[in-house]
Amino acid sequence: MAGAQAIRRAHVVVVGIGGVGSWTAEALARSGVARLTLIDLDHVAESNINRQVHALDSTVGQAKVQAMRERIAQIHPACSVQGIEEFVDPDNWPQLLPEGVHAVVDACDQIKAKRAMAAWALRTRSLFIAVGAAGGKRLAHKVDIDDLSRTTHDPLLAQLRYRLRKFDGAPREGKTIGIPCVFSREAVAPPDPSCDISGDGSLNCHGYGSVVSVTATFGQCAAGFILDRIAQGSQKN
């Protein structure tokens, strides 16, 4: 009961309301989280319909945070949802955070934003989870959660690990960093040579392709981790 009550009182921030973060936000809302803050400047595009839970023919062109807020209102009307139409960057983080936040989910695809959030989490010891790259992955059962120091087959998280160690004092090889991550142990499938490649290893999957069974699993794993930690934390108090 204490864990369920803690979840109903929780305030969770989800950064990036796309192929991963939209599923995270919906899972948190369906689980009874009292308050959500959703951060993303992007708008729903037709190309999002294959993997983003709020992407419908009727929502194309709408701000992603607004589409998600309206969807959650139909699922959990008592959930207070704040949408912030911004992209996180080193200049606005953590100023974008409202007061009273219990947890943050990084589901964005930009390495500078990921580093800013992860470095903040290390400094403040906040409840936080980062999500790796879903592009080029096809096997949902290969998705896992582990410390950033032990993630594999993920160039985006490899960049994050390198930058945190070089610039933010994160522990070196052989030591736990303290940033839990969702990632896939599956090797990245070769990109389609006929497509433009983003070249940044990001979640936007340009050329690599993405499948909803994987992106949704990433999002559900992130939500499950946060819900479990919130519930466990209530039992320790």
| CA gap 149, 161 in Å, rounded | 7
Q: What is the CATH number of domain 2-236?
A: 3.40.50.720
| CA gap 170, 150 in Å, rounded | 13
Q: How far is CA 223 from the centre of its chain?
A: 9
- Provide the token pair at 189: 């499938």
Phi and psi torsions of 66, nearest 5°: -70, -45
Q: What is the pLDDT along the chain (237 residues), one digit of tens a residue?
A: 899 999 999 999 999 999 999 999 999 999 999 999 999 999 999 999 999 999 999 999 999 999 999 999 999 999 999 999 999 999 999 999 999 999 999 999 999 999 999 999 999 999 999 999 999 999 999 999 999 999 999 999 999 999 999 999 999 988 999 999 999 999 988 776 665 544 444 444 455 789 999 999 999 999 999 999 999 986 665
| CA gap 112, 42 in Å, rounded | 17
- Domain residue limits, the chain: 2-236
Query: Could you write out the three-class secondary structure of 44-73?
Result: CCHHHCCCCCCCCCCCCCCEHHHHHHHHHH
| CA gap 29, 94 in Å, rounded | 23
Q: Report yes or no: 117 and 153 within 8 Å, Cβ to Cβ.
A: no
